[in-house]
Amino acid sequence: MSEPIKLKRQLGVRTATAMVLGEVIAVGIFLTPAGMAKSLGSPMLVLMVWLLMGAMALCGALCYGELAAKFPEAGGGYVYLREAYGAPLAFLYGWMGFLVMDPGITAALAVGLATYAGYSLNLSAIGIKIVAISSIVILAAMNIRGVRLGAWMVRWLTILKLGLLAFVLVWGFGFQLGSWSNFTPFISQRAGSEPLIAALAGGIVAAFFSFGGWWDVSKLAGEVREPSRTLPRSLVLGVMAVTLVYILTSAVFIYLVPVDRVTSGETFAAQAGEALFGRVGGQIFSVVVIVAVLGSLAAIVISAPRVYFAMARDRLFFQAAAKLHTRFGTPALAIALQAALASLLVVLGTFNDIIAYFIFVVVVFIGLTVASLFVLRRRKQGETKYLTPGYPLTPIIFLLLTVLLLVLLGGHNPTQALRGVLVVAAGLPVYYLLFRRTSRTARPSDGGN
């Protein structure tokens, strides 16, 4: 490896949009509708929650579009936090991502994929871990081989994923395999549902995290062609498409399985599969889930390491991670580090607990990133090739809903939220002791190259 001259801009609108769809639509599409339908007890309320969270994600996507156009370089949220608030906060974002969230989510997705594969292949616990680690290693190797290869994988997995979901819709509705009576009562809550406020709170949190990850495509801004046009368009198109997919998929699931028969998300998916394909429906549906999760896993493996690459260029991370592979032009070491940590978490089996501690902090960072738009506009900092439609109302709506989410998350488990905040804050001594003197985060933006 040698010091890079620049990352190559190779990704267009279709690939960037596929990145959004590929990462967001994962196993949650099969689990979340069940919990929402059972607790809310009203198809109309399920629709309203999806629309509300879709609107929130769209507001956030419009804001991220402007931020990506201002600073079209690798790193996404890390870069925007650095430019608006300075190196310490940006370092904490990267610290959390590298040590906790990125490998944790990667491990969770890989194990989820392997678990569904294990259902079909009757794998042991060790076999499931082997499949999970193998999937991480193979995807990491593909991304080291080249961003175009990794992006090609994400794009075609996304096409296959959407095709399979469309097939489920057409098969279910077209052959009348369910019942329209499952949608009644449509507006009022079904008997036995949770109290309205509690049900809405749970549904909003679940739906928000089903949309999670749309912001990650901005981490690839240094490798996107015409980023000031491509990224805003792909973010908006991706979020709108995800919202439509979630609404239609929830509708077909409710059509196929009566709400009073739902016991859990996993059994709900199996019941829907049985309604569609008979006895082998569970196995067929597991294939659909595997494709969905694999696409999400491939997307996070390609996007997350760009943050460590950007940090290393600012001398806030291992310097070797700032170098590109001499042959493939990719941040190979950053990709390998993420894969290694994720594989370790798969072996240890502790990733679910780890992720739970930091969900609150993730929402805080996303909110701070959108709020940075006010700071950067006031300073007139960065390029102005794209401006957020509806500003300042657009970021205000997003931030108000973010505050609501933080209240719900913190109120539900304040101890868990506090632990996550304290662990992230523990990164400050690391920054001041190891990186403050050597960092060069005040350099002007150079396109990430």
pTM score above 0.75: yes
390 CB contacts (<8 Å, ≥6 apart)? 62
SS (H, E, C) the chain: CECCCCCCCCECHHHHHHHHHHHHCCCHHHHHHHHHHHHHCCHHHHHHHHHHHHHHHHHHHHHHHHHHHHCCCCCCHHHHHHHHHCHHHHHHHHHHHHHHHHHHHHHHHHHHHHHHHHHHHCCCHHHHHHHHHHHHHHHHHHHHHCHHHHHHHHHHHHHHHHHHHHHHHHHHHHCCCCCHHHHCCCCCCCCCCCCHHHHHHHHHHHHHHHCCCHHHHHHHHHHECCHHHHHHHHHHHHHHHHHHHHHHHHHHHHHHCCHHHCCCHHHHHHHHHHHHHHHHHHHHHHHHHHHHHHHHHHHHHHHCHHHHHHHHHCCCCCHHHHCECCCCCCCHHHHHHHHHHHHHHHHHCCHHHHHHHHHHHHHHHHHHHHHHHHHHHHHCCCCCCCCCCCCCHHHHHHHHHHHHHHHHHHHHCHHHHHHHHHHHHCHHHHHHHHHCCCCCCCCCCCCCC
**Model confidence pLDDT, tens digit, residues 22-78:** 999 987 787 788 888 888 989 999 999 999 999 999 999 999 999 999 999 999 999
- Supply the pLDDT for residue 427: 92
Q: Which CATH number fits domain 13-435: 3.60.15.10, 1.20.1740.10, 1.10.3720.10, 1.10.300.10?
A: 1.20.1740.10
Q: Both tokens of residue 363?
A: 């929402």
Q: What are the structural domain ranges in the chain?
A: 13-435
pLDDT tens by residue, the chain, 449 residues: 444 457 889 999 999 999 999 999 987 787 788 888 888 989 999 999 999 999 999 999 999 999 999 999 999 999 999 999 999 999 999 999 998 889 999 998 999 889 888 877 888 889 999 999 999 999 999 999 988 898 999 999 999 999 999 998 999 999 898 899 989 888 888 887 889 898 999 899 989 989 989 999 999 999 999 999 999 999 999 999 999 999 999 999 889 888 877 776 666 777 788 888 887 777 787 788 888 899 999 999 999 999 999 999 999 998 888 888 888 888 999 999 999 999 999 998 877 777 778 889 999 999 999 999 999 999 988 777 899 999 999 999 999 999 999 999 998 889 888 988 998 999 999 999 888 877 766 444 444 44
- Supply the pLDDT for residue 264: 67
Give the closest residue to 65 by CA, choosing from 401, 396, 369, 399: 369
- Supply the pLDDT for residue 446: 43
Beta bridge partners of 11: 224
Cα–Cα distance measured from residue 363 to residue 361, given in angstroms and rounded to the nearest whole number: 5
- Supply the pLDDT for residue 191: 81
